[in-house]
Amino acid sequence: MKTLRVALDGPAGAGKSTVAKLVAKSLGLTYVDTGAMYRAITWKALQEQINPADEAALTAISSRVQIDFKLTSEGQDVFLDGVDITEEIRARDVTANVSAVSAVPGVRASLVKLQQEIANKMGVVMDGRDIGTVVLPDADVKIWLTASVEERARRRYEEMTAKGHQLDFEQLKRDIERRDELDSGREHSPMKRADDAVIVDTSGLGIEAVVEKILHICRSAE
Ligand code: C5P
């Protein structure tokens, strides 16, 4: 079971990271949040005031920086060149720009290489948008995790307001729809369900039920 490679893709806010963490823990695999890597590059680009349309500069950043993860009891911390940016990469300006940055082929090339290197060394549950199609096309298990946009927005809204953030539900819903459009419409490695991925629709399901469903699929692939 240790070398199982699980690809977990799907649209924004489908609950991928929550589910992936729990599945990884239960199966003794390493959780890899690829969205955090694209967010880290976006954060760095914003810090250096690089225009998200400047492909050469973004490509240079992604081949230069070092991204590391450190497992914690809550999930994982994200480091860029040794600096802890776990909180920073969830900021609104990072979320607003990450789709543009992740559409750059040079950025994708560096990060896909890093993701494949990790998965070559250990069993993983890797969450993202192109894991089943591009990063690990021969993954042992491929899951497409989805839910209605209404439900995804509601969950994100509850999560953010519980943390004390103030936001407008309709705006949040539009932002999620916009990010999905950009991620699925881009030219290079668009967000796409792999033909052989199992669809898990989480609308109306609790986390435990979703995790159980995915564990069942993983155990059948052993
Ligand atoms: O998963 P998360 O919502 O944190 O991902 C942030 C963004 O990173 C996505 O909206 C997408 O633009 C990009 N991404 C990607 N490919 C992946 C993972 C994330 O393009 N494998």
**Both tokens assigned to 76:** 């994982």
| Any ligand 1 atom below 6 A from CB of 193 | no
Tell me if 11 is assigned to a ligand binding site. Answer: yes
First to last CA, the chain: 6
Considering only residues 71 and 214, tell me which one the structure prediction assigns the higher pLDDT. Answer: 214
pLDDT at residue number 160: 87
pLDDT grade for 2, boundaries at 50, 70 and 90: low
Whole-number mean pLDDT of the chain?
A: 94
| Any ligand 1 atom below 6 A from CB of 38 | yes
pLDDT at residue number 49: 97
pLDDT in tens, 84-103: 999 999 999 999 999 999 99
Mean pLDDT of 168-191: 95
Complex-level ipTM: 0.98
Annotate the chain with three-state secondary structure. CCCCEEEEECCCCCCHHHHHHHHHHHHCCEEEEHHHHHHHHHHHHHHCCCCCCCHHHHHHHHHHCCEEEEECCCCEEEEECCEECCCHHHCHHHHHHHHHHHCCHHHHHHHHHHHHHHHHHCCEEEEECCHHHHHCCCCCEEEEEECCHHHHHHHHHHHHHHCCCCCCHHHHHHHHHHHHHHHHHCCCCCCCCCCCCEEEECCCCCHHHHHHHHHHHHHHCC
pLDDT at residue number 165: 86
Question: Which residue CA neighbors atom 5 of ligand 1 most closely?
Answer: 35
pLDDT in tens, 184-213: 999 999 999 999 999 999 999 999 999 999
Mean pLDDT of 45-54: 95
pLDDT grade for 1, boundaries at 50, 70 and 90: very low
Please give the distance, rounded to the nearest whole angstrom, from the Cα atom of residue 35 to the centre of ligand 1.
4
Tell me if 184 is assigned to a ligand binding site. Answer: no
Question: What pTM was computed for the model?
Answer: 0.94
| Any ligand 1 atom below 6 A from CB of 129 | yes
| Any ligand 1 atom below 6 A from CB of 42 | no
